[in-house]
Chains A and B, each alone.
Chain A
Amino acid sequence: MKSLPARLVRRILGGILMILVVASFTFFLIHMIPGNPVEAKLAQLEIAGVQPLQAQHEVQAMYGFLPHQPLDVQYVHYMWQLLHLNLGKSITYAGESVTHLLLQAMPWTVLTVTSGIIVSFVVGILAGVIIAVYRERRISNGLTLFSTFLHGIPQLILALLLAYLFTTIWRIFPYGSPYNAALHPGWNLPFLGSLAFHAILPVAAYAISSYGGWALTMKSSVISVLGDDFILASELRGLTSRIRIGYIARNAILPLFTTLTLSIGFMFGGSVFIEEIFDYRGLGYMLISATGNLDYPLMAGSFLIITTAVITANILADFLYSAIDPRIRVQ
């Protein structure tokens, strides 16, 4: 078994390699887009009467490379710009740097996704424990059915249903913006309160869509831990139920961290729908609107950032896991 630092280095290097692969993918993607948008942009600028040198300069700022250069030079330019965290310039948001736009978009996505994961994880685990402990009772069967049902509803439908039911049919929650536009954004209580209130539905959409998975995984994990010898031993040693529940919980939650990896990707992927439906200007929204508006630098940047966020979150989840499991932590 490898020591923790070696593992850390390995995981991070793997993550960086993955990001590089994704970056190369977006580079070639732009080349494969029908109609060659880079060349088209250059031509468009020159027709508009912009000086050729000036036009080239602008195109290079947008995409990070020029169409007339050899492919390898373009690639090196593109990657060099990426290394400086320069993702080019947006076409639709005239002149704005993609990096800047995405940095503004990032908190919307990361905060809602993280809240959704935490809420669904906690609720799902509690439900899983109840299902496992009260096996063969009505509450357990009911909860299992309920969880399986929720597990089967896709994020898109869930988000649409929540939005439609709770803002239009029953006017419980506000709809259409992430906060009350009349309030002044900043660290003041009314604004933060409005932010939280508007966030309830989108966070619920994330949480409900992944709740069922946690509950069902936790259920089988608890059942398998309850069958372990040490649980019977702790009962026969007269440990208090508080201590025993602690033993069971830690051992049962551990295997769920491997699922966390998949869940994070799923959640960030779902941001595409949830941000579109609830009008959150997050990463998913940026990706969709950029794709719709043929804003390729912004599209490539959004995709790269979403993927990077998922990869980073996976590495963090992996370390959380090894921090809890001594069998990995200690050599």
Chain B
Amino acid sequence: MSATMNPSAADVEMAPGIACQVRDLTVAYHVDGRDLTALRDVALDIHQGKITAIIGESGSGKSTLALALMNAVSKPGRIVRGSVAYRGMGDVIRMRPEQLRRIRGKSISMIFQASQNSMNPLTRVGKQLLDLARSHRMPNPRDVLREAAALATRMSLDADRVLTSYQHQLSGGMRQRVGIIFSLVLKPDILLMDEPTTALDVLSQSSVLEIVRSIQRERQLTTVLITHDMGVVAELADRVVVLYAGRVVEEAPTAELLRHPRHPYTRALIRAIPRLTGDPSQAKALEGQPPALASIPAEGCVFRNRCPHRMDVCETVLPKFAMDADAGMHRFACHYEEARA
């Protein structure tokens, strides 16, 4: 089959500096005979060599988004429409399974939320790395082991021991780091991290983030960080996308977003960051619950039920994005803010 016959191989037109372009991405879960929309018309750009954070509460659809970025939404979920195009690879949503398999783990790799449990418990770590290398037809699988050993040493693990171990012989923190080795060892172009630190204690968290940041800088790795933690975002990310009830509500460079948050939800998130200095009681949790999948309003603003600035128009009209190009492509979707500006 020639390259022109295959639409996914064709490079989608992208603005310079963009590594991945998501458009109209809509994902629904089929539950009890109904389609529940988890992501609706999500559009975002992931910048080359930068860390883009996607932040949202649990239930905001961020884990679904992480899977959709690799076209790995599984039943009962389904990608209804939209595209996820990567530079030089094409749209993963329209890829054939074998083509998709080859880029997964090789060009685009993921650090999982449950990285500790991401290994086959019956096979030694080294053997699994070889399985990975063979799956992606690496010319010399031994090189992959050597690279893994180097990464292990860098993460202050005993490389020989780790490679000859089974999962149950490693501690939780060690397994997490081994999971990171799996994600980095084939030198991917794009790294997705789905809540990489939630399962860890504070000390392991910071060391894991340290490692990821240093490798990201060194390799200029395009990174997507999916998290609920504004503190982590503030520390690591270059750009932030705020997700609420399956919709993008705001997107901006991190510094700009922290300084001038426009969407009321973003403001609430920032207020909720506990600070090391100062009165912890000043950190205010957002009131109310994020909507359950079945109760996301079908029209109007999805945030209106928790919004302090709720207006009549919010009930019926979905707010369009307003763009502030001067502030590093800062965009937000809020009737109230738009009216104020």
Contacts and interface: CB of A to CB of B under 8 A. Distances in A.
A229 B106 CA distance: 19
B131 A254 contact: no
Given A243-B135, A330-B169, A238 B121 contact: no
A230 B117 CA distance: 6
B105 A236 contact: yes
Most buried by A among B103, B109, B120: B120
Contacts of B118: 229-230, 233
A71 interface: no
Contacts of B132: 237-239
B153 interface: no
B135 to A, nearest CB: 5
Contact of B122 (A232, A233, A240, A324): A324
A305 B132 CA distance: 50
A235 B67 CA distance: 11
B80 to A, nearest CB: 20
Given A326-B122, A327-B166, A238 B117 contact: no
A279 interface: no
B94 interface: no
Contact of A237 (B104, B122, B123, B168): B104
B213 interface: no
The dominant DSSP class at the A interface is helix
Interface residues of B, number: 31
Contacts of B106: 238
B70 A236 contact: yes
Contacts of B134: 240, 243
Nearest to B194: A236
Contact of B117 (A229, A240, A243): A229
Interface residues of A, number: 23
Contacts of B38: none
A234 interface: yes
Interface string B119-133: 111111000000110
A327 B135 contact: no
A233 B104 CA distance: 10
Contacts of B169: 330
A325 interface: yes
Nearest to A135: B75
Given A247-B120, A247-B123, A327-B121, A236 B135 contact: no
Nearest to B101: A238
A228 interface: yes
Contacts of B104: 235-238
B114 A229 contact: yes
B110 A230 contact: no
B102 interface: yes
B296 interface: no
A238 B136 contact: yes
B112 interface: yes
B182 interface: yes
Interface in B116-168: 117-124, 131-132, 134-136, 166, 168
Interface of B: 70, 72, 74, 101-106, 109-110, 112, 114, 117-124, 131-132, 134-136, 166, 168-169, 179, 182
13 contacts: A229-B114, A230-B117, A233-B117, A236-B110, A237-B182, A238-B101, A239-B105, A243-B135, A247-B122, A250-B123, A251-B120, A326-B124, A327-B121
Interface of A: 228-230, 232-241, 243, 247, 250-251, 254, 324-327, 330
